[in-house]
Amino acid sequence: MSEKEHKVSRRQFLTYTLTGVGGFMAAGMLMPMARFALDPALKAGADSDLITVADLSELTEEPQLFPMTYTQDDAWYTSEVSENVFLMLNGDDVLALSPTCTHLGCQVAFGTNEDHPEQFYCPCHFGRFDKQGNNIQGTPPTRPLDAYEVVVEDGKVKLGSIYQRQGGA
């Protein structure tokens, strides 16, 4: 090969240099964005943590409200969340119901409506649910109260993920 064939012109040198520098800068900007976008998805098992809420001995067949506090990772933001949950004995099982009305999200209470003392009652639009959290036909909610997965271990009631129950009037 001749020496002439190996020569790099000033124009080629600048093109290679600017392309290389531009590529490094683009990678430097895109890598953090990609990491923030993918990081929560790569944290496996974050939702499977159980939260201890009560002793089994505290529960009765009447729904009672218990506080529940847990740490929530929302993308790259971690916060402490406090919620309430209705717990009750339901035969041999423990039922854990969300107090959030499935109509428009107000908080329900149990036994506060004098005409329906054995039901959950939502004061916002007069929604009602039976003792197992099933919505009462003819009231605004169209599906039952959401429930939590329940695990009883060593006399402690632990809650997992919340889920929508099937059914509805």
Binding site for ligand FES (CB under 6 A): 101, 103-106, 122, 124-125, 127, 140-141
Shortest CB 55 distance to ligand FES, Å: 31
Question: Would you say 131 or 135 has its CB closer to ligand FES?
Answer: 135
Question: Would you say 121 or 157 has its CB closer to ligand FES?
Answer: 121
Instruction: State the Cα–Cα distance between residues 135 and 144, nearest whole angstrom.
Output: 5
For residue 151, how many other CB atoms are within 10 A of its CB? 13
Shortest CB 110 distance to ligand FES, Å: 14
Contact 17, 10 (CB under 8 A): no
Report the run of H or E that residue 50 belongs to, with start and end: none
Shortest CB 133 distance to ligand FES, Å: 13
Give me the helices (H) in the chain, please: 10-42
- CA trace torsion 21, 23, 28, 33 (10° rounding): 160
Q: Which residue is nearest to ligand FES (CB)?
A: 127
**How far is C-alpha 104 from the geometric centre of its chain's CA atoms?**
18
Question: Would you say 111 or 140 has its CB closer to ligand FES?
Answer: 140
Question: Would you say 54 or 63 has its CB closer to ligand FES?
Answer: 63
Shortest CB 25 distance to ligand FES, Å: 52
Contacts of residue 145, Cβ cutoff 8 Å, sequence gap at least 6: 86, 97, 98, 99, 100, 101, 102, 108, 120, 129, 133, 135, 165
Question: Would you say 45 or 105 has its CB closer to ligand FES?
Answer: 105
Instruction: State the Cα–Cα distance between residues 118 and 113, nearest whole angstrom.
Output: 9
Shortest CB 126 distance to ligand FES, Å: 6
